Chain A
Amino acid sequence: MSSEIRFTDFKSDKQPTWCPGCGDFGTMNGMMKALANTGNDPDNTFVVAGIGCSGKIGTYMHSYALHGVHGRALPVGTGVKIANPELEVMVAGGDGDGYSIGAGHFVHAVRRNVDMTYVVMDNRIYGLTKGQFSPTSREDFETSTSPDGTNQQPVNPLALALAAGGTFIAQSFSSDSQRHTEIVQEAIEHDGFGFVNVYSPCVTFNDVDTYDYFRDAIVDVGDEEFDHDRGDYDAAKDLIMDRDKEYQGVIYQDESSVGYEKREGVEAPMTDIPDGAPEDAMDLVREFY
């Protein structure tokens, strides 16, 4: 089936209710293309979505999917992938979902390194709750709940991931469709936790981190003249800690990474179980003699 699969097969017949111009359209299209390009089809794909405008993605895509509770998408994806390593698991959510309420899970998902792809639609604002600051909002950013600026440092998600032992750390821009697709595709192909922070502008509530801003600010580490070695940890660290620029591309990859489920020896889907107790079940009892 996979040879004939087109990215539109991943589209559901629900029309997105995102605001016209929302960055999430481009983010989603790139994800669907990347899934199709890597030979997946809706029947072997599981999409876990967070809560937020970003989290609506599960509704607009066609695949096996779960739209869960706020901030907990990563543990769900972890369970899905480990229980059936044959599935392609993609987890998506917003910056609030992933780095605020779900920050704990993020750090632990990174270090656990389950072979799945995590796409964060980072619009540096809370969209669905109508415009409060988010953990990636700038320090002086004025919103309904920060009329005088947020007075807090924004989190640096890539730094968090690097510090937690991330094996694939990347960033993309939703309107650079081709690069975004390529980067997500590489995340899918990575054996381990493929993390992509996507600049996905909110045209309604964020008038600072706009398309124009990103278009000007972005530096692509994949450009030839940039000559970035993604396997070089220190080089990656320098890029990540440089907050004056917005980098796009695969910043860091540990090529020797092996997914958690593989390291734990999980081989087959856990769907097939016998109709009764396993044949050697009485041995379980005899252990207590």
Chain B
Amino acid sequence: MPEDLNWAIGGEAGDGINSTGKIFAQALSRAGRHVFTSKDFASRIRGGYTAYKVRSSVDRVESVVDRLDILIALTQRTVDENMDELHDGSVIIYDGERTMMEDFEAPGEMTGLDVPLKRLAEDAGGAIMRNIVALGAACEVTGFDIEYLDESLEKRFGNKGQAIVDNNREAARLGAEYVREEIDTTTDYDIDTTDNDYVLLNGDEAIGMGALAAGCRFYAGYPITPATDVMEYLKGRIENYGGIVVQAEDELSAINMALGAARAGARSMTATSGPGIDLMTETFGLVATSETPLVICNVMRSGPSTGMPTKQEQGDLNAMLYGGHGEVPRFVVAPTTVAECFHKTVEAFNLAEKYQLPVYLTADLALAVTEQTFEPEEFDMEAVEVDRGKVVDEDSVEEWTNDQGQFKPHAVTDDGVSPRAFPGTTDGAHMSTGLEHDELGRRTEDTDMRVQQVDKRDRKVETAIEREDWSYREFGDPDADTLVVSWGSNEGAMQEAMDFLDEDGIDVRFISVPYIFPRPDLTEEIEAADDVIVVECNATGQFADLIEHDALTRVERINKYDGVRFKADELAEEVEAALGEPDEADAEVEA
């Protein structure tokens, strides 16, 4: 388990919590420390409480834990909200001159640092910088070199002019000085640094970066939490490559624009979340039937309906697998880490074009908004390959025309994949339609042709299952009796939960599956284990259902659907509970 530091800033929405948290996270990353962030929006109490949490270590961190070491509390409520995670060694930084905190006393053995945040900020040039004063104070408490903060302040405020940057640097120094000179306290926290250069980004950003690396040129979307970041990332960057972001009037339009662009020969993508997927479902069928390559990114949030828009859930799996009337093939790819969001996005574009079908690329909210540090090399641009599939040009188009010289965009082939002619290709003119069609793309109700076209589309899936590598990621002891399977962002928490389980003498084999359809066949792995547990953030166990269906067996389920991601320690307890009381006899042998 990493020697970690858990830090948070909390206050009211609008207090600049997110940007302050990000500044600190970036400073830690610049100092060569690994960082894993999470954002908290409490649903228990109405109002604007919000927090940004940073877990950091010299070793890699993959999840959050139930512990807070340093808390910057801009409001009393911030302390109340996090009471469960505070411990005797926790340090709480607050402003005793603010009415809401003036009577505050740190509970139990905790250390309360009363720092006049607002007053010192005003000394530095403006009350707005009180969060930065608090950051300076936190640096002092943890022995963290304040110069790292300077770099991220430059990054954050550089475009507002040097004066603003300097004021903020001064604010941080005043915070640190105050703690050093005025408060007689020593803490155990020491933040080690390294020479490593990490990058810090979240899943949405990694998806956007993957799209650019893969040559995506057209993006149409309609804003929705938590998918909007993808659009905001691409806007301002995609143009450098001759591409465009179009903000559509709704999701119906967004997916149809993306479809049009894909038919015109662009690598094209749309991103949305739950309710948007529902609206796109009608056109989804058209995309699949017209065999148009399209990447549809679904950043899942808690449903149904508008549900809990800022909360974690993995509840849309069935919608992506089965959504839509009639039967059409589609792929569903689900990255499990921030870095994988990048790689799987590149793969999604290749799959879409090689097999000419819609690919759902799905990340859950926790994965999408979590910022995490990586070695830059993990985003290996050299390894990116672009495969546009069976595209014909004016020379090869002839192979695919009939006696009358008409191009066959839906030619019935052995591998199920037909040729593709970008508009503008001489002699490639053809029609495509959502109606059932013949090889030329023209409407037909001929019974033979209907069966041939359905089979042809389905055959693409068989071909892809054969040709592509639908593998999984594996952790722990391959011979362990207990097998845990999960998908999406749970990978990080489970990886760390294994350390806790190991301490309790529980050996686990853990498989994290990034492909929902097609997916690896886990029958052998399941048969080799005594206990099989499927972990996911939904109430009904949609992925567990698939596993049971594939392996024709029953599995245990750990489901979490309160809107909060799994924490490593909590997940370890759940796994232990699922395994039941340890066998007395075994316990004796162990002893």
Binding site for B on A (CB under 8 A): 1, 12-14, 42-46, 48, 58-59, 62-69, 72, 74-84, 86-87, 104-105, 107-108, 261, 264-271, 273-278, 281-282, 284-286, 288-289
Contacts and interface: CB of A to CB of B under 8 A. Distances in A.
Interface in B245-265: 246, 248-250, 252-254, 256-265
B78 to A, nearest CB: 28
Majority DSSP secondary structure for residues of A touching B: mixed
Contacts of B264: 46, 79-81, 83-84, 87, 269-271
Nearest to A279: B381
A108 B253 contact: yes
Given A104-B249, A270-B264, A278 B443 contact: no
A284 B210 CA distance: 10
Given A43-B429, A288-B199, A288-B201, A48 B209 contact: no
A282 to B, nearest CB: 6
Contact of A62 (B282, B285, B425, B429): B429
B442 interface: yes
A78 B286 contact: no
Contacts of A284: 209, 212-213, 237, 379
A66 B266 contact: no
A193 B244 CA distance: 19
Nearest to A266: B244
Nearest to A288: B199
Nearest to B346: A277
B430 A68 contact: no
B27 to A, nearest CB: 12
20 contacts: A42-B429, A44-B424, A59-B442, A63-B429, A65-B429, A69-B283, A77-B260, A79-B258, A80-B263, A84-B264, A87-B423, A267-B242, A269-B266, A271-B264, A274-B215, A277-B214, A278-B212, A284-B237, A284-B379, A289-B198
Contact of B218 (A44, A83, A104, A268): A83
A84 B428 CA distance: 16
A289 to B, nearest CB: 6
B217 interface: yes
Contact of A66 (B209, B244, B263, B425): B263
Interface in B269-315: 282-283, 285-286, 290
B431 interface: yes
B385 A276 contact: yes
Contact of B431 (A67, A269, A278): A67
Contacts of B443: 59
A83 B249 contact: no
Given A83-B260, A104-B249, A271-B422, 15 more contacts: A12-B431, A14-B442, A43-B424, A43-B429, A66-B432, A67-B434, A79-B260, A83-B261, A268-B242, A269-B424, A270-B242, A271-B264, A276-B385, A288-B199, A288-B201
Nearest to A87: B423
A43 B426 contact: yes
A258 to B, nearest CB: 16
A271 B442 CA distance: 25
A78 B270 CA distance: 14
Contacts of A80: 260-261, 263-264, 423
Given A75-B256, A78-B260, A289 B30 contact: yes
Given A79-B259, A87-B424, A271-B266, A285 B217 contact: no
A72 B283 contact: yes
A281 B199 contact: no
Contacts of B213: 277-278, 281, 284
B251 to A, nearest CB: 10
B234 to A, nearest CB: 11
Contact of A277 (B218, B258, B381, B432): B381
Contacts of A44: 423-424
B386 A285 contact: no
B419 to A, nearest CB: 14
Interface string B189-207: 0000000011111000100
B209 A108 contact: no
B249 A68 contact: no
A123 to B, nearest CB: 21
Interface in B214-249: 214-215, 217-218, 220, 237, 239, 241-244, 246, 248-249
B373 to A, nearest CB: 9
A104 B430 CA distance: 29
Nearest to B253: A75
A79 B262 contact: yes
A105 B256 CA distance: 11
Nearest to B388: A273
Nearest to B423: A64
Given A68-B286, A79-B218, A270 B265 contact: yes
Contacts of B268: 79, 83
A76 B253 CA distance: 8
Contacts of A84: 264-266, 422-424
A74 B212 CA distance: 26
A23 B215 CA distance: 44
B430 A64 contact: yes
Contacts of B254: 75
Interface in B394-452: 404, 422-435, 442-443
Interface string B355-386: 00000000000000000000010010110111
B407 to A, nearest CB: 10
A174 B165 CA distance: 66
A69 B429 contact: no
B261 A82 contact: yes
Contacts of A83: 217-218, 260-262, 264-266, 268
Contacts of A278: 212-213, 215, 241
B253 to A, nearest CB: 4
Contact of B260 (A67, A75, A107, A282): A75
**Which 7 pairs from chain A and chain B are nearest by CB?**
A79-B260, A273-B215, A75-B256, A270-B266, A271-B265, A83-B261, A270-B217
Nearest to A86: B424
Given A72-B256, A282-B381, A289-B30, A265 B386 contact: no
Contacts of A46: 263-264, 423
Nearest to A9: B429
Contacts of A74: 253
Contacts of B422: 84, 271
Contacts of A65: 429-432
A274 B217 CA distance: 12
